[in-house]
Amino acid sequence: MKYLTLAAMAFTLMTACTPLPPQPPRFNAYQGLTPGDAQPVQSSMRPPIVGSGKSVALVISNSSEKQFDYVERLIHAYTTGLYLWQQDVHQRGRPAYFSSQILKKFGERFGRVQVVDDFRAATRGFDYIGLIDIAIEKPLTTGTTFAYDIDVDILTPRLERIVRLSGRGRDNNRCPGVECAYATDMRALQQAMDQFYAAFDANVR
């Protein structure tokens, strides 16, 4: 696993020497992780989950990995092509930035939070598993929509889903120019994160 979350950047361009990469589709979060890519059964345990003194392994879905690879390639296209670019976007736009935000949120409630590359390893030695699945939509040369979808399944070590925590953010450009595009991107991102934070606070104690 390379990253644990989302990315944001400015999208107004001047002229393009480097073509922008195609955006990958989102697919089943459990693909490649469970036998037959099966969704987990519902656990008899109900939220709120008590995180104090408990451990949780955080795993990113293969679908999210494709999304984050796309963001990195998009950043590369912006930095090597003749696109308008903001330095602060280079810092905040990387998946590691959002990874730290999600880790911090889990750290508020759980006694131990660890990012685990191997999904099977996550079923051993932890009280809970958090499977993180993220989708990102950004306009390329046309379009105005920026969107972020966050789904985090909290599972038992037996791979039974206790609860799904979700956040959705979507916004459209309201004016031309790089500053407006960046602001639109940030609004969509913040909306998704705020919804996820609210779902987390309502279901984890």
Range in 68-77, 119-128, 185-194 with the lowest mean pLDDT = 68-77
pLDDT at 152 over 60: yes
Q: Total structural domains in the chain?
A: 1
pLDDT at 140 over 90: no
Residue 7 lies inside a defined structural domain of this protein? no
Q: What is residue 185's predicted lDDT score, i.e. its pLDDT?
A: 83
Range of the domain at 148: 40-203
Q: Is 189 left (phi over 0), alpha (psi -120 to 50) or beta?
A: alpha
Q: What is residue 81's predicted lDDT score, i.e. its pLDDT?
A: 63
CB count, 10 Å around CB of 42? 11
Q: What is residue 201's predicted lDDT score, i.e. its pLDDT?
A: 98
Given a contact cutoff of 8 angstroms between Cβ atoms, the answer to whether 68 and 26 are in contact is no
Q: Give the whole-number percent of the chain exceeding pLDDT 90.
A: 55
pLDDT at 4 over 80: no
Q: Any idea what the CATH number is for the domain that residue 123 is in? A: 3.30.160
Q: What is residue 16's predicted lDDT score, i.e. its pLDDT?
A: 43
Beta bridge partners of 152: 132, 165
Determine the average pLDDT of the residues in 132-150: 83
Residue 191 lies inside a defined structural domain of this protein? yes
